Amino acid sequence: MKPIEFRFCFSALGTLLLTAALVGGGGCASNQQCTSAQANAQAFGDVPKTVQKTAPPLPEPQDDPPLDDTNPSVLVYEEAFGYFAAVPNTAQPLPELLSAQDYEQSLGDVPTAPNMATALPEPPGSPPGSQESIEDPLAPVNEKSFNVNQGIDEHAFHPIVNVWIKITTPAVRKCISRFFDNTGVVPRFTNALLQLRFKWAGTELARFGLNSTIGIAGLFDPADKWFGLKEHDNSFDMTLARYGIGGGWYLMPPVGEPFDVRKAIGSAVDGLMNPMNYLVPGSALVFSRLAHGVEALNSRAESQGVIDDLHRFSIDEYGAVQDAFTQQQKKKEETVRNSE
């Protein structure tokens, strides 16, 4: 045999062996796949190969049913909107913008509103100008005098008043005030007659009689406490106010209380009617001045709390004192003019 044929025989034999090996392996693989398929069937049972559709089919679109005129809701709806449709359109078109000149011309015929502040009537019985504020043309001088007054009061009167408060009780100071108030019956009685208030004049006489006897020279006030006879704070400057005379300029002295021109005149006239100026003999002028000094000291002690509050809380002490004086005078004027 030739070498070429011999090599061809070996090549053919190798090809046959390779083919037999591939066929045998394929059979084993298909056998394994069959075995795994049988195992899965036994584990999961008879599982259907396909999932059936469980969702219901979508409904087909239908046309809207016609409106039922007999339905109550439909009728109510139509009645409601039919009413609004029947309301006429009353809106007016917007006016055109006016120029500044046309606007002034349109306002030219509008009457000016009256000043109600000047049209307010004054209280009955009030003279003209009684509602005006107090006149203070001397304010620069009054303010300097007020500062002097405050300095004297703080360094001279205040220590004396503190001593007086320590050696006396409130009840004692009240009795002293009532005593000097009882001696002022003559000015109050006379001014009541000048004001044609005869009831006030009778009350003052009755009070003086009761307080001078039962009240022990006026130290107590049984006329008010037991008989209800009230005292009327009256003076000659209130008599002038009743007949329409204004207060005039506001004045602040270096020593003492503030006053106006009318009160200065009234105090001078009332002093002439005060019996304390005639009961004490002229040779005992010192005792008369002492009595007035005790009266002033006691009055100052009675108002000590008010003065302390003024120093403590007031920012403008001069204005606060002036306002307090004004309010006090206005209150007295109203009482004299409006009381029966």
Q: pLDDT tens track of the chain, all 340 residues? A: 444 455 555 566 666 666 655 545 444 444 444 445 555 555 555 555 555 555 566 666 565 555 555 555 555 555 555 544 455 556 566 556 555 566 556 655 545 444 444 444 444 444 444 445 678 999 999 999 999 998 998 888 888 888 888 998 989 989 988 998 898 899 999 999 999 999 999 999 999 999 999 999 999 999 999 999 999 889 999 999 999 999 999 999 998 889 999 999 999 999 888 776 666 555 445 555 666 677 788 887 777 777 777 778 888 889 989 998 999 899 999 888 886 6
**Three-state DSSP state, 9:** helix
Confidence (pLDDT) at 119: 40
Q: Return the beta strands (E) in the chain as ranges.
A: 250-251, 259-260
For residue 40 the two structure tokens come to 């899965």
Terminal Cα-to-Cα distance of the chain (whole angstroms): 175
Let me know: does 275 contact 190? Beta carbons within 8 Å: no
Let me know: does 267 contact 251? Beta carbons within 8 Å: no
Confidence (pLDDT) at 184: 87
Rounded-to-integer distance, Cα 170 and Cα 283, Å: 33
- Helix, strand, coil shares, percent, the chain, to 5: 65, 0, 35
Strand partners, 259: 251
Q: For the chain, what are the domain ranges?
A: 139-338
The reported pTM is 0.56
**DSSP H or E stretch at residue 101:** helix 100-107
**Three-state DSSP state, 211:** helix
For residue 105 the two structure tokens come to 């011309």
- Taking residue 291's Cβ as centre, other Cβ atoms within 10 Å add up to 18
For residue 172 the two structure tokens come to 């004692």
Rounded-to-integer distance, Cα 120 and Cα 130, Å: 13
Phi, psi (rounded to 5 degrees) for 216: 55, 75
Confidence (pLDDT) at 251: 94
Confidence (pLDDT) at 201: 94
Question: Measuring CA to CA, how many Å separate 225 from each of 189, 216, 228, 294, 303?
Answer: 20, 14, 6, 26, 23
For residue 96 the two structure tokens come to 């055109």
Confidence (pLDDT) at 106: 60
